RNA sequence: GCAGGGAUGGUCGAGCGGUCAAAGGCGCUAGGUUGAGGGCCUAGUGGGUGAGUCCCUUCGCGGGUUCGAAUCCCGUUCCCUGCACCA
């Protein structure tokens, strides 16, 4: 048995593979397969979730290599991006949370952590750690092509890529809202946040309500409801200010200025505004020109948007309830002398919503049981109505210009109108608050100007991408629809960043190219990466890349001509990419960009051929997350379980696109299985009385039915496992190649147990088993390469099993009748057991009767008829005069009519000899003497009449 | 809301028109092995019947197509994932 946690064996083979360079792939005359998996962003240690991602391509690469393909499986490091910058800063700041994570979750030694103040060091540290772990898992990667995305050569490549896109008109300039920390003076990502992870940014419409030449600027998500405005709300307990906005005076809350100043250029504070003094004054609605009174409301959040809200009590639950509260609040009405004015205010309907009356806000408040404007449930009520009206609302009839339009349409038109006529503006705010940076500062929404975009909205480009997608294989096929959807939906993408590691935008060096954009066509870089260490990056210019990748014939530099041609041919050989593997949450961006960029830059014959999408990893049923400490590092998993067990578990517990769940308990089961597998060699050696060698294996003519059965079964497994692997179904492949395979062998051992005494039988058994073993080891090699090399070596297989030929299934060895025969024997044993159980007695003799020939004929006729048509079956049988006793034919026809459609009929089987050959087994199994009759010479209870084809009759006594 | 996926036995998870009371794992029960335990091996694991290889109920819920449906169609309820500047 091979001790799986004996890392010497793993190391031994890893070293041998590296020494013999069997995974280093260069162009030759074989057919090629080029597959890549998303290169990792090494900002932390590799955990078991990553393990699955990178094991799948390794298994496939190994499988294809054994099938005789020239397979290229490379790896690189995506060190582009901002997260490590933040990490380095936090480490420098001695942020305890960050230090804990790196010390305890990523298990970085103390002396290393101290160097983590340098972001470059972090990615270097982890990329070399990734490299080591990948080697320890036995990945068949061509390491000569390893690179980091900050290598100068790669940057040259990215610059070329972006100039290509730019020259095709797929890059444009604009502005873009981002999360921003005024404290750090930097945009912030989710990983930089203390609070507010995953919070979105919303666009709000600002509406200017005039008052004596100044403007109260109210913010809204629903400008179409302006027609239903009844008043303005401000919060009199908060501070308001007047600001200068390009010559206009705006009145907003003081706190909202904090946010807005990052979004509006040239906005300046003029003076404080005494909020209570504004209550009761009137402003003018820019759309309807109606005058609205300014009223006090406590629900108005001065930090949200502009701190000014206009009120639509018919459709906004908050407004409705605030108005109701106010009407009942004598004290406030008295304080501001509002009583009569407020009592007059009635909701105004704007939107017609099926199933609701004129004032849906009132109904929804009722439904949710909202008590006042402080009620928690108010938010839910608002959301519900917002959704409903957005989806199904129609503008009401009395609104001249917009009647009968859907709410969505009317909203867009009204926003446009407000902007064009300068009666409104736009601003952004977070969907939820608070959003707080790790430095403790409240984050804001900032508008970045001069931002560069990739124009995924471009119809020409979308069309190219669609065409590219169409010719690709997508696994699993269901996600194709997702791709189509995303390609259609993608809008312009901000592709430049202020901070992070990466490549500068070649024509605007103040910007860095964002990480999802510099990782779209890099697979093409692998093809040439192995040459790069010998070439000075200064020699790489656009003419070089255009010539290598696009055959532009443009290269004019001084790289040796022969070398240059070799590089060019190498790319030509490996491209197009056969398979791209990545996680399912990247379908909407990374993988779609990959399609976009390839279709834009490369000619059609270099477009990628296939995509495989992965599911996520769970740990004992919970989502894995480094930041929550809920991970198991691969290194630890390898240490405790061994590389092959880890690989096997990751491949066997779920298909790649399904979520897998790492469960210690199930891991143990897997381990036992593979131990059993590795012990198999010894078991065979025991049976064949000598050590095994593949050198002398010759299958020859197999006589015994049970041996033939095993060969059939094994060949079916080979066939199914191969088909499964072709489609990346690692779980199914293992189901066939390991679990069911083992089951077959268990059954086989059970069947032959009592025959091992017999010398002749034993010889054939051992030949059969060695044949099986040789196939089995090869079948398992992609999954558990170390164990398999060790076994292969032990039985004197030739060379590395990693380079051995993948077992090809032999149709000649699959004998349906043999399989059926075994089924009959097993069925018979089970039936007898059942009868024993029912009668609750241990028989001494069991008599078995085979169905007479005429029944078989009737059976065949029934099979031909194909449906339970008793009349026809009977008619045809009688006509052929199959049997003298017509009544018996009728009974039998009736009996089998339904049965026959269910039975897989493989033709006449010599049931008598099959059972006679299995008598030893049956007697042994049942603990009684078993006698089989071709003709019922002894049948005291006339049981033989029950015999059917494939189902002998039984009499026990 | 939009898009995609799903609902199967104690549980995880196959199956996607007949061979389905439904693979396989885990769990549980019994027997064997063992000094004990673990591990391993064997059998069982919806209900009934109790001399016959059968019958009944079951694959979210309700209808339908078919000789036949877990599988196809229609409706319905519930669940999960994504919706962006984050790699």
Cβ atoms of A713 and A823 within 8 Å: the answer is: no
Q: Which nucleotide is nearest to A901 (CA to C1')?
A: B18
Three-class SS state of A175: strand
Give yes or no for CB of A822 within 7 Å of strand B. Answer: no
Give yes or no for CB of A348 within 7 Å of strand B. Answer: no
d(CA A256, CA A342): 27
Q: In the structure, how far is the CA atom of residue A904 from the C1' atom of nucleotide B56, in angstroms?
A: 25
Give yes or no for CB of A41 within 7 Å of strand B. Answer: yes
Q: In the structure, how far is the CA atom of residue A470 from the C1' atom of nucleotide B60, in angstroms?
A: 35
Q: Is omega for the bond preceding A857 within 30 degrees of 0, making it cis?
A: no
Residues 440-469 of A with CB under 7 A from strand B: 456
Residue with nearest Cα to nucleotide B23 C1':
A740
Q: A750-770: string of b/e by CB count within 10 Å (b at 16+)?
A: ebbeebeeeeebbebbbbbbb
d(CA A348, CA A948): 82
Find the DSSP H helices in A851-937.
853-865, 870-879, 886-902, 911-917, 919-926
Residue (of A136, A180, A215, A219) closest to A637 by Cα position: A136
Residue-level pLDDT at A384: 73
Q: In the structure, how far is the CA atom of residue A661 from the C1' atom of nucleotide B60, in angstroms?
A: 24
Q: In the structure, how far is the CA atom of residue A720 from the C1' atom of nucleotide B16, in angstroms?
A: 18
Q: In the structure, how far is the CA atom of residue A665 from the C1' atom of nucleotide B26, in angstroms?
A: 8
> What are the mean pLDDT values of chain A's consecutive 10-residue runs (957 residues total)?
80 97 96 94 88 92 97 95 86 88 92 93 94 95 96 96 94 85 77 72 89 92 90 93 94 90 89 93 93 91 90 89 90 91 91 81 81 76 76 81 82 88 89 78 84 89 91 85 85 85 92 91 95 92 95 89 95 95 84 93 95 82 75 89 90 85 80 84 81 75 85 89 90 87 84 79 87 92 94 91 93 84 80 72 80 82 72 77 74 72 74 83 79 84 80 82
| Bridge partner list, A448 | A176
Residue (of A240, A228, A241) closest to A323 by Cα position: A228
Give yes or no for CB of A382 within 7 Å of strand B. Answer: no
Collect all residues with Cβ–Cβ distance below 8 Å to A744 and sequence separation of at least 6.
A710, A713, A714, A717
Residue-level pLDDT at A374: 77
| Bridge partner list, A453 | A172, A494
Give yes or no for CB of A777 within 7 Å of strand B. Answer: no
Residue with nearest Cα to nucleotide B52 C1':
A835
Beta strand segments in A669-795, E? none
User: How would you classify the pairing of strands A291-296 and A282-284?
Assistant: antiparallel
Three-class SS state of A518: coil
What own/partner pairs with CB < 8 Å and gap ≥ 24 does A328-336 have?
Answer: A332/A296, A336/A276, A336/A279, A336/A280, A336/A296
Give yes or no for CB of A666 within 7 Å of strand B. Answer: yes
Phi/psi of residue A248, each to 5°?
Answer: -100, 150
Question: Which strands make up the sheet holding A929-933, listed edge to edge?
Answer: A929-933, A845-849, A953-956
Give yes or no for CB of A80 within 7 Å of strand B. Answer: yes
Q: In the structure, how far is the CA atom of residue A400 from the C1' atom of nucleotide B2, in angstroms?
A: 30
| Bridge partner list, A216 | A209, A251
Q: Which nucleotide is nearest to A895 (CA to C1')?
A: B54
Q: In the structure, how far is the CA atom of residue A584 from the C1' atom of nucleotide B81, in angstroms?
A: 9
Centre a 10 Å sphere on the Cβ of residue A661 and count the other Cβ atoms it contains: 16
Six token digits for residue A921: 């087994």
Q: What region, left, alpha or beta, does residue A502 occupy, with left being phi > 0 and alpha being psi -120 to 50 degrees?
A: left
Give yes or no for CB of A872 within 7 Å of strand B. Answer: no
Residue (of A631, A566, A651, A508) closest to A159 by Cα position: A508
Q: Which nucleotide is nearest to A495 (CA to C1')?
A: B85
Residue-level pLDDT at A237: 92
Give yes or no for CB of A612 within 7 Å of strand B. Answer: no
d(CA A4, CA A112): 31
Phi/psi of residue A329, each to 5°?
Answer: -100, 85
Chain B nucleotides near the protein (CB, 7 A): 1-6, 12-15, 18-19, 23-27, 39-44, 49-53, 67, 81-87
Residue-level pLDDT at A169: 92
Give yes or no for CB of A837 within 7 Å of strand B. Answer: yes
d(CA A943, CA A846): 12
Residue-level pLDDT at A838: 67
Q: Which nucleotide is nearest to A390 (CA to C1')?
A: B1
Residue-level pLDDT at A191: 67
Collect all residues with Cβ–Cβ distance below 8 Å to A636 and sequence separation of at least 6.
A107
d(CA A103, CA A728): 36
| Bridge partner list, A623 | A618
Give yes or no for CB of A622 within 7 Å of strand B. Answer: no
State how far Cα A92 lies from the chain centre: 35
Give yes or no for CB of A585 within 7 Å of strand B. Answer: yes
Q: Which nucleotide is nearest to A585 (CA to C1')?
A: B82
Q: What is the ipTM of this complex?
A: 0.87
Q: In the structure, how far is the CA atom of residue A871 from the C1' atom of nucleotide B66, in angstroms?
A: 20
Q: In the structure, how far is the CA atom of residue A610 from the C1' atom of nucleotide B76, in angstroms?
A: 38
Residues 674-713 of A with CB under 7 A from strand B: 676
Residue-level pLDDT at A898: 66
Q: In the structure, how far is the CA atom of residue A74 from the C1' atom of nucleotide B36, in angstroms?
A: 53
Give yes or no for CB of A740 within 7 Å of strand B. Answer: yes
Q: In the structure, how far is the CA atom of residue A658 from the C1' atom of nucleotide B73, in angstroms?
A: 28
pTM: 0.86
Q: Which nucleotide is nearest to A665 (CA to C1')?
A: B26
Residue with nearest Cα to nucleotide B41 C1':
A746
| Bridge partner list, A512 | A497, A504
């Amino acid at each position: 048995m091979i001790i799986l946690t004996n890392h010497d064996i793993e190391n031994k083979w890893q070293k041998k593979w590296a020494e013999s360079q069997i995974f280093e792939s260069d162009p030759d005359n074989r057919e090629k397969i080029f597959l890549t998996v998303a290169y990792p962003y090494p900002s932390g240690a590799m955990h078991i979730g990553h393990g699955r991602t990178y094991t799948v391509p390794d298994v496939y690469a190994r499988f294809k290599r054994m099938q005789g393909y020239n397979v290229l499986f490379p790896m690189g490091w995506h060190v582009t991006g901002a997260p490590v910058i933040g990490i380095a800063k936090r480490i420098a700041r001695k942020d305890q949370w960050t230090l804990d994570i790196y010390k305890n979750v990523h298990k970085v030694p103390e002396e290393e952590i101290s160097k983590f103040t340098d972001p470059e060091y972090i990615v270097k540290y982890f990329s070399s750690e990734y490299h080591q772990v990948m080697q320890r898992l036995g990945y068949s990667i061509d390491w000569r092509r390893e690179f980091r995305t900050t290598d100068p050569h790669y940057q040259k490549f990215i610059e070329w890529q972006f100039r290509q896109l730019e020259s095709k008109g797929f890059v444009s300039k604009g502005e873009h809202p981002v999360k921003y920390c005024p404290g750090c003076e930097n945009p912030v990502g989710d990983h930089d946040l203390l609070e507010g992870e995953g919070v979105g940014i919303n666009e709000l419409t600002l509406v200017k309500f005039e008052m004596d030449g100044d403007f109260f600027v109210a913010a809204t998500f629903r400008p179409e409801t302006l027609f239903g405005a009844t008043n303005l709300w401000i919060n009199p307990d908060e501070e308001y200010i007047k600001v200068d906005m390009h010559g206009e005076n705006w009145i907003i809350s003081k706190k909202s200025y904090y946010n807005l100043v990052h979004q509006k250029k040239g906005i300046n504070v003029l003076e404080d505004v005494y909020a209570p003094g504004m209550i009761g004054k009137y402003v003018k609605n820019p759309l309807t020109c109606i005058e609205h009174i300014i009223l006090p409301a406590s629900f108005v959040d001065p930090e949200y948007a502009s701190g000014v809200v206009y009120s639509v009590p018919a459709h906004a639950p908050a407004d409705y309830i605030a108005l109701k509260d106010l009407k009942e609040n004598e004290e406030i009405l008295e304080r501001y002398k509002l009583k009569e004015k407020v009592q007059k205010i009635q909701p105004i309907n704007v939107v017609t919503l099926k199933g609701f009356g004129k004032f849906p806000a009132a109904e929804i408040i009722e439904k949710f049981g909202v008590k006042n404007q402080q009620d928690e449930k108010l938010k839910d009520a608002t959301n519900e109505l917002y959704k409903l009206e957005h989806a199904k609302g129609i503008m009401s009839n009395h609104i001249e210009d917009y009647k009968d339009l859907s709410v969505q349409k009317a909203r867009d038109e009204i926003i446009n109108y407000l902007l064009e006529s300068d009666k409104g503006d736009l601003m952004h705010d977070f969907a939820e608050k608070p959003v707080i940076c790790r430095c403790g500062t409240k984050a804001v929404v900032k508008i970045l100007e001069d931002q560069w975009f990739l124009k995924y909205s471009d119809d020409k480009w979308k069309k190219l991408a669609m065409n590219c997608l169409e010719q690709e294989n997508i696994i699993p096929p269901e996600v194709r629809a997702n791709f189509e959807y995303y390609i259609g939906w993608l809008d312009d993408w901000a592709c430049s960043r202020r901070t992070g590691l990466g490549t500068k935008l070649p024509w605007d060096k103040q910007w860095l190219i964002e990480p999802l954009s510099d990782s779209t066509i890099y697979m093409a870089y692998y093809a040439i990466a192995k040459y790069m260490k010998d070439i000075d990056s200064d020699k790489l210019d656009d003419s070089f890349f255009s010539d290598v990748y696009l055959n532009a014939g443009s290269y004019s530099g001084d790289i040796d001509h022969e070398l240059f041609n070799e590089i060019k041919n190498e790319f030509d050989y490996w491209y197009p990419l056969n398979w791209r593997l990545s996680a399912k949450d990247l379908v909407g961006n990374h993988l779609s960009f990959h399609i976009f960029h390839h279709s834009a830059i490369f000619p059609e014959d270099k477009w990628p051929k296939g995509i495989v999408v992965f599911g996520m990893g769970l740990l004992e049923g919970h989502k894995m997350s480094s930041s929550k400490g809920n991970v198991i590092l691969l290194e630890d998993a390898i240490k405790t379980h061994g590389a092959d067990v880890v690989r096997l578990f990751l491949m066997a517990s779920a298909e790649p696109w399904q979520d897998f769940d790492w469960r210690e308990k199930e891991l143990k089961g897997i381990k036992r299985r593979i131990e059993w597998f590795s012990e198999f060699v010894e078991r065979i050696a025991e049976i064949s009385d000598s050590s095994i060698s593949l050198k002398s294996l010759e299958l020859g003519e197999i006589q015994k039915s049970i041996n033939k059965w095993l060969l059939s079964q094994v060949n079916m497994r080979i066939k199914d496992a191969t088909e499964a692997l072709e489609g990346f179904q690692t779980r199914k492949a293992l189901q066939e190649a390991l679990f069911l395979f083992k089951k077959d062998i268990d059954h086989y051992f059970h069947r032959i147990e009592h025959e091992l005494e017999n010398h002749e039988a034993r010889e054939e058994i051992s030949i059969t088993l060695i044949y099986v073993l040789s196939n089995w080891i090869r079948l398992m090699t992609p999954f558990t390469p170390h164990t398999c090399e060790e076994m292969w070596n032990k039985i004197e297989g030739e060379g590395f099993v990693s380079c051995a030929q993948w077992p090809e299934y032999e149709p000649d060895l699959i004998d349906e009748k043999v399989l059926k025969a075994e089924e009959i024997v097993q069925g018979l044993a089970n039936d007898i057991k059942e009868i024993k159980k029912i009668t609750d007695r241990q028989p001494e003799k069991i008599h078995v009767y085979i169905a007479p020939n005429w029944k078989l004929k009737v059976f065949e006729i029934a099979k031909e008829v194909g449906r339970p048509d008793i009349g026809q079956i009977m008619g045809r049988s009688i006509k052929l005069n199959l049997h003298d006793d017509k009544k018996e034919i009728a009974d039998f026809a009736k009996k089998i009519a339904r049965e026959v459609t269910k039975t897989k009929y493989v033709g006449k089987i010599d049931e008598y000899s099959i059972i006679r050959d299995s008598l030893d087994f049956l007697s042994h199994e049942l603990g009684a003497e078993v006698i089989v009759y071709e003709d019922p010479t002894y049948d005291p209870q006339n049981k033989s009449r029950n015999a059917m084809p494939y189902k002998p009759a039984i009499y026990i006594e």
